[in-house]
Amino acid sequence: MKFKSFFGLVLPLLCLFSCESQQPSAPNFVFILVDDLGWADLACYGSEFYETPNIDKLAAQGMRFTQAYAASPVCSPTRASILTGKYPSRLNITDWIPGDDPQNRSLLGPNDLDALPLEEVTMAEMLKSKGYKTFFAGKWHLGDEGFFPEDQGFDINIGGYHKGSPVSYYAPYHNPKLKDGPEGEYLSDRLVDESIQFLNAHKEAPFLLYLSFYNVHTPIQANRKHVEHFKQKAERLPDIGEAGYRVEGDGLTKLRQDNYAYASMVAAMDENVGRLMAHLDQLGLSENTVVIFTSDNGGLSTLEKNRKAPTSNEPLRAGKGWCFEGGIRVPLIVKGPNIPAKATSEVPVISIDYLNTMAELAGIDQEKIPSNDGESLVPLLHQKGNWNREAVYFHYPHYHGSAWKPGSAVRKGDLMYIDFLDEQKAALYNLKNDPSETNDLLEENPEKAQELKGILAKFHKETHSKLPSVNPNFRKE
């Protein structure tokens, strides 16, 4: 009886410890955000001019989304949406910070915030509550002193401050949050060096490494290591002159990828993604690390005042700043445990979805997840479970240097409805049949357009969207 009693006590304990030891540890997260990287700027998304072997390899190791969206066609609103899981209109951050609302147009853009409010719970704060170490490197652009990454849940901040573009991609950087390296040091190299140091110091603990490249935002400054290769490549292309551009409203859209300086910046970014992935392998962390790679908006392909943009998003229409596909559709690659290799998803997803995805993967209790607008991508990533969403929304009620004028859009199923507020008109496109958005179906399908208009109006009401107002001082020339 004594032996039976002893084993009756010990065996359940042994089972408990054994079961606990077999439980997978909380996954690490590496979130890579590239600034202004277009949907077509990667070889694995169809580029024939840019070369991205490391990101192509990442895509082959995980799931590539073909219809992923940024929550805004410009940077700060999307960056806020990623961190909080909320639509930009709900956050009242609807323009790049601080924005540039002109006073001589027919509408006045609404006043929005110049910083992500501290009361918002970010993904970093959420993961810290679960014991994660949190690291940020690169572009922030979500507020000035007092609203930096270290004020929003990140233990370490390397290079993140209020400006949206670097003074230089080569040291000296003139960045108050990044100590200058030796003259000639390249910014993306440095950010990944710092990221590698973080991995070395925190490889035992679950971590969030948020790498926010300044590449490939302007200034377009050639990477010295890669530029000659792409210059020679560009010189072999036929001269197409003005046929390489199309009029888009008051702007010009670039139709071919051939800017060798921009290509060298893409290559430098890709090289550094490869360095980071290789170091995860070296440390034995890859098997339990979720890597999310995406962009904050479409590529800069369209500019007003006859300026020439650096990249092309063809076959998608327009680019950064526009609520056409070229301005909001972005690359998205996710690699990690239980995510099949060489997988693709054509389901429309959006940047508000990352917070809930990471929360589910980290095992965070539902009541501890901050209220938000997103959905978890886990059913798609693991290819099981239900996925059901009515629509995705875009609200950019400001003028932009890309020649965009205030407007909003909603995608439901294959249909995209765009409301051009300045011109008081709308358009309707079937993206499955017409991804280039050249065939406006509004007159053919007035009932469907009216339905989507109502859905968009409901979204505005629920998220307290601010709309532009009539400019009383505007005088049409």
Q: Would you say residue 316 lies in a domain?
A: yes
CATH number of the domain residue 339 falls in: 3.40.720.10
Q: Would you say residue 408 lies in a domain?
A: no
Q: What percentage of the chain carries pLDDT values higher than 70? A: 95
Structure tokens at 91: 């956050």
C-alpha span between 80 and 72 (Å, rounded): 10
Beta-carbon neighbour count of residue 332 at 10 Å?
Answer: 27
Choose the weakest-confidence range: 19-28, 260-269, 317-326: 19-28
pTM: 0.94
Q: Would you say residue 454 lies in a domain?
A: no
Nearest CA to 276 among 7, 10, 25, 30?
A: 30
CB 354 within 8 A of CB 111: no
Q: What percentage of the chain carries pLDDT values higher than 90? A: 90
Report CA torsion sign: 126, 129, 131, 134. Answer: positive
DSSP 338-378: TPPTTEEE-S-EEGGGHHHHHHHHHT--GGGSPP-S----H
Tens of pLDDT, residues 94-114: 999 999 889 999 999 999 999
Q: What is the DSSP letter of 110?
A: P
Q: Would you say residue 210 lies in a domain?
A: yes
Burial of 440 (0-12, 13-18, 19+ CB in 10 A): middle
Tens of pLDDT, residues 186-220: 999 999 999 999 999 998 889 999 999 999 999 99
Q: Would you say residue 418 lies in a domain?
A: no
Question: Given the structure tokens 């993206």, which residue do they identify?
Answer: 431
C-alpha span between 78 and 95 (Å, rounded): 9
Q: Which pLDDT band, with edges at 50, 70 and 90, does 477 fall under?
A: low
Helical H segments across 95-186, by residue range:
123-128
Q: Would you say residue 477 lies in a domain?
A: no
Q: Would you say residue 92 lies in a domain?
A: yes
The per-residue pLDDT of the chain, averaged, comes to: 94
Total structural domains in the chain? 1
User: What distance lies between CA 329 and its chain's CA centroid?
Assistant: 9
CA angle 445, 319, 420 (to 5 degrees): 40
Q: What is the DSSP letter of 170?
A: B
Q: Which pLDDT band, with edges at 50, 70 and 90, does 121 fall under?
A: very high
Break the chain down into helix, strand, coil percent, rounded to 5.
30, 20, 50
Average of pLDDT values for 297-323?
96
Q: Would you say residue 164 lies in a domain?
A: yes
Tens of pLDDT, residues 61-78: 999 999 999 999 999 999
Long-range contacts of 184-193 (CB under 8 A, 24+ apart): 186/223, 186/224, 186/225, 186/268, 187/159, 187/214, 187/215, 188/213, 188/214, 188/215, 188/268, 188/269, 188/272, 189/268, 189/272, 190/159, 191/137, 191/138, 191/158, 191/159, 191/272, 192/272, 192/275, 192/276
Per-residue pLDDT at 292: 98
Domain of residue 260, residue span: 25-383
Structure tokens at 296: 């904050």
C-alpha span between 311 and 2 (Å, rounded): 79
C-alpha span between 466 and 52 (Å, rounded): 39
Tens of pLDDT, residues 6-28: 444 444 444 444 443 344 579 99
